[in-house]
C-alpha cells in the first residue's frame, strides 16, 4: 500500500467519522433527476439506470441523468447518452455552453448548419469537447457510443432545420 493511498484513505475515514459525511450512490437516490451536488455522488457503471431520453433527442438512444435536474435554471447537471452504431444527431444548438466527454465508442462531431460527415472530427473514448452557447453542430457515432454531458440548466436543444426535430413527429395528445 502506497503512502499516498493510506493518507487519502485516512482523510476520507476522518471526514466520515468526524462530520458524518457518507458517499451517496445511485441506490441512495430517491429518483432520477433528484441528485444534488450537496452530497457526494459515487456512481459505478453498473448502477447507471438507463431510460428514455428527452423528446428532443432523436429516437434510438438511451439517457441517464446522473446529477441535477435538466429543467432547473442556473444549476449544473450531468447526463449520459448511450447511442447505437450509426446514430445521427442533426445540426442543432443549445442555450448554454455544453461540455462533453466520450466514455466509450467514437463520437463524431462537426460544426455548422449542414450535416456533413466529411467536415467532422472523430472523437474516441477519453475525448473532451466544449460547444459554445448557440454554436450549431451535429454528430454521429461509430459503434455503440456513450457520452457524458455537463451544462448549466435548463437544458435545451434547438434544431437548425425545424423538420429535423423529433418532437414534430410525436403523436398529438
> How much is the pLDDT for 74?
95
* Torsion angle in degrees (nearest 10) through CA of 17, 20, 23, 27: 120
> How much is the pLDDT for 169?
78
Region of 17 please: left (phi>0), alpha (psi -120 to 50) or beta.
Answer: alpha
Digitized pLDDT (tens) for each residue of the chain, 173 residues in all: 444 444 434 333 333 333 333 333 333 333 344 455 578 999 999 999 999 999 999 999 999 999 999 999 999 999 999 999 999 999 999 999 999 999 999 999 999 999 999 999 999 999 999 999 999 999 999 999 999 999 999 999 999 999 999 999 766 64
Q: Pairing state of beta strands 76-83 and 137-152? A: antiparallel
Q: Say whether pTM exceeds 0.75.
A: yes
At which residue does the C-alpha cell 435536474 appear?
69
- Degrees (nearest 5) of the Cα angle 135, 87, 128? 50
- Find all residues with CB under 8 Å of 88, minimum gap 6, and list them: 58, 115, 138, 139, 140
> How much is the pLDDT for 172?
60
Q: Pairing state of beta strands 98-111 and 120-124? A: antiparallel
> How much is the pLDDT for 14?
32
d(C-alpha 143, C-alpha 102), whole Å: 12
Q: How many other C-beta atoms lie within 10 A of the C-beta of residue 2?
A: 7
Which domains, from first to last, does the chain contain?
44-169 (2.60.120.10)
At which residue does the C-alpha cell 431510460 appear?
51
Task: Give yes or no for a contact between 54 and 62, defined as CB atoms under 8 angstroms apart.
Answer: no
Q: How many other C-beta atoms lie within 10 A of the C-beta of residue 172?
A: 3
At which residue does the C-alpha cell 449542414 appear?
114
- Residue 43 phi/psi, 5-degree rounding, is -120, 120
- Residue 133 phi/psi, 5-degree rounding, is -45, 130
Amino acid at each position: 500500500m502506497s503512502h499516498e493511498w493510506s493518507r487519502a484513505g485516512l482523510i476520507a475515514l476522518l471526514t466520515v467519522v468526524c462530520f458524518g459525511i457518507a458517499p451517496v450512490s445511485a441506490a441512495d437516490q430517491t429518483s432520477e433527476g433528484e441528485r444534488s451536488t450537496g452530497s457526494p455522488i459515487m456512481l459505478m457503471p453498473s448502477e447507471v439506470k438507463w431510460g428514455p431520453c428527452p423528446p428532443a433527442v432523436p429516437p434510438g438512444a438511451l439517457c441517464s441523468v446522473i446529477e441535477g435536474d435538466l429543467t432547473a435554471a442556473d444549476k449544473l447537471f450531468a447526463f449520459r447518452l448511450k447511442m447505437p452504431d450509426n446514430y445521427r444527431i442533426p445540426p442543432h444548438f443549445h442555450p448554454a455552453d455544453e461540455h462533453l466527454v466520450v466514455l466509450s465508442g467514437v463520437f463524431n462531431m462537426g460544426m455548422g448548419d449542414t450535416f456533413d460527415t466529411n467536415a467532422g472530427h472523430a472523437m474516441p473514448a477519453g475525448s473532451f469537447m466544449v460547444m459554445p452557447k448557440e454554436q450549431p453542430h451535429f454528430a454521429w457515432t461509430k459503434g455503440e457510443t456513450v457520452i457524458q454531458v455537463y451544462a448549466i440548466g435548463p437544458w435545451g436543444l434547438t434544431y437548425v432545420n425545424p423538420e429535423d426535430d423529433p418532437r414534430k413527429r410525436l403523436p398529438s395528445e
